[in-house]
Amino acid sequence: MITGELKSKVDRVWDAFWSGGIANPLEVIEQITYLLFVRRLDDLETLAEKKARVTGKPEGLRFGTDQQELRWSRFKNEEPAVMFATVAEKVFPFLRALGGDGSTYAQHMEGARFTIPTPQLLSRVVDLLDEIPMADRDTNGDLYEYMLSKIASAGQNGQFRTPRHIIKLMVDMTAPQPTDEICDPAAGTAGFLVAASEYIRAQHPSVLTDAAQRKHFHASMFHGYDFDNTMLRIASMNMLMHGIESPDIRYRDSLSEGASEDAEKYTLILANPPFAGSLDYESTSKDLQRVVKTKKTELLFVALFLKLLKPGGRAAVIVPDGVLFGSSKAHKELRRTLIEDHRLEGVVKLPSGVFKPYAGVSTAILLFTKTNSGGSDQVWFYDVTADGFSLDDKRNAVEANDLPDVLKRWGDRTGSELKRTRTEQSFCVVKDEIVAQGYDLSLNRYKEIVHDEIEHRPPREIIADIEKLESEIGTGLAELKAMLS
C-alpha cells in the first residue's frame, strides 16, 4: 500500500477535484483514469520511437507528425487556457477514435467524456499527476487501489467494492495457475482479476519468462464483464496499471441471453455479483432459467457460474446468506444442483460487518468445482468471526483475524479437518446429512453449541438466606426507629 509522500500527492489530486467542483468519487476516478491513460500513451510512444530508431521500422506509433501537440509531454507545459483547449477539443476526440487498434483500453475510451470544468483545475491536476512516479508496476497498482478505496459509498444496483483482503483470501484459496482462464462476470473495478494476476506473478514467475505463458497471461487469461461503462473504463485502467497489457474487459449484461456464447470457456471464476433483487423473466437468459427458474439475481449468477465453467473448473464466489438456507423451490434446487451434480467443497461464513460502510448484508463464500458428475462427499464449513478490522462503519485495523486460519485449514480440509468436532470454528459435514436437512447450507444448522454446566444451590438454602437477610433488615429498622424516638 502506498504511504508517505506518494499518498500525500494522490490526496492532493483528489482534493483539487473536490475543491474544483467535482464531488462524485466515480467521476473523479474516471477523469484521473483518462489523464493517466494519456500519460501512458505518451510513455508508450516514447518507447516505440526509441525502438524505431534502432530497428528502422516505425511500428507501434500512435501519434502522427501533426498530432505531437496531443502528447502529455507537450501539452503539460502549455498555459492553462491553451492546455484546456487542446485536451478538450483535440486529445479527447483522439482518445475516442483509438478504438480501431483493438485494445480493450481503446475500446472503452470510445465513450470518454471530458468533464473537468476549468483550465485552472486541469492545469493543477496535470501538474500533480506529472509528479507521481509511473515507472514501477507495483507502485502503479497500489496507487490505483488507493484511489479506488476512496469510493466511499455503494453504487447502484447493489454494487460495492469487495474488500481487498477478502479478495486475497479467495484468490489464495483457489490458487490460480498459469494455464487458467479466469473470469469475473461482475467485474466492477476488476479487483479479483488484479489479485489473481498478482498471485500468479508471485507464485509462478515463469509466466513472465516463458513466451507462450507470457502471451496467455497478457492477452487471454483474464476476462471481466460489466454493464456499467464507467466501471469498464476504470477496470481496464486498473489492469493496465497492474501490468496486464490486453485483458478481455467487455460490456455485457451477464444474465442476458448474450452470455451463452461463453459457455464452458473458463477454468476459474472469482466474483462478488450484485444482489439487486429480482429481474424480469423476459430479460433473463433462457439457458439460466433452465438451470434454476427464478428472478433472483443471486441465484441466477450462481447458475451462470456453473454454465461458464469448463468441467473441472472451480469457483470462489460471494453470495448473500439467503442462498444458503432460502426455502423457495429455486433456492433448494440450486443447492441440490451444486451438491448432487457438482462438487461443493466449502462454505465460509463472513461476519455481517465485512462490507461496511457500504452495506451490512450477511454473506458467505461458496467454493465449488464443476464436475457434471457429483463428488460432494463432504462440505467444509468455517465460521469467520473476525477479519482483521472492526466490524463497524469505521473498519479500523484490529488484532483479531481468522483469515490466515481459514487458508491454513482449507488446505487441510481432507486431512485433520475431517476429525474436528462441530463445536469448533471449522468442521466438515457429510453429504448425506446435508441431503437429510433439505440441502440447507447454513452453518448454524450443523454447528453444535457447548453450554457450560452451572451448579445451582438448592432452593431451600436460597430461601433460608433470604429469610436471614429479611430478619437482619427488620432488626436494623427497629434499631433505627429506636434511635429516632
Residue 188, phi-psi category: left (phi > 0), alpha (psi -120 to 50), beta (remainder): left
Q: Quote the CA–CA distance of 101 and 48 in Å, as a whole number.
A: 15
CA atoms within 13 A on the CB side of 220: 10
Count of all residues that appear for the chain in the document: 485
* Extents of the domains making up the chain: 4-141, 153-446
Top-level CATH class of 4-141? mainly alpha
Compute the average pLDDT of residues 331-356: 93
Mean pLDDT computed over 332-344 = 96
> What pLDDT sits at residue 152?
47
381 near 422, Cβ under 8 Å? no
446-460: average pLDDT: 82
Least confident of 147-151, 301-305, 385-389: 147-151
Paired residues of 428 in beta bridges: 380
Its CATH class, for the domain covering 153-446, is alpha beta
Please, which pLDDT band fits residue 372 given cuts at 50, 70 and 90?
very high
Q: What pLDDT, on a 0 to 100 scale, did the predictor assign at position 56?
A: 84
Residue 153 has pLDDT above 50, yes or no: no
Q: What secondary structure, in 3-state letters, does 74-140 show?
A: HHCCCCHHHHHHHHHHHHHHHHHHHHHHCCHHHHHHHHCCCCCCCHHHHHHHHHHHHCCCCCCHHHH
Say if CB 267 and CB 181 are below 8 A apart. Answer: yes
pLDDT band, very low/low/confident/very high, at 202 (cuts 50, 70, 90): very high
Name the strand (E) or helix (H) holding 312.
strand 309-320
Distance CA 98, CA 94 (A): 7
Q: What was the pLDDT predicted at 99? A: 59
pLDDT at 157 over 50: no
- pLDDT reported for residue 442: 95
3-class DSSP state for residue 427? strand
Q: Which comes out higher in pLDDT, residue 161 or 390?
A: 390
Q: Identity (one letter) of the amino acid at 98?
A: L
Backbone angles phi, psi at 404, to 5 degrees: -60, -35
Confidence of residue 241 (pLDDT cuts 50, 70, 90): confident
CA dihedral 351, 352, 353, 355 (to 10 degrees): 110
Query: What one-character DSSP code corresponds to residue 372?
Result: S
Q: How confident is the model at residue 155 (pLDDT cuts 50, 70, 90)?
A: very low
pLDDT grade, residue 278 (50/70/90)? Answer: low
Q: What is the pLDDT of residues 78-123, one digit of tens each?
A: 999 999 999 999 999 998 887 556 667 777 777 788 999 999 999 9
Give the model confidence (pLDDT) of 177-190 as tens digits.
999 999 999 998 89
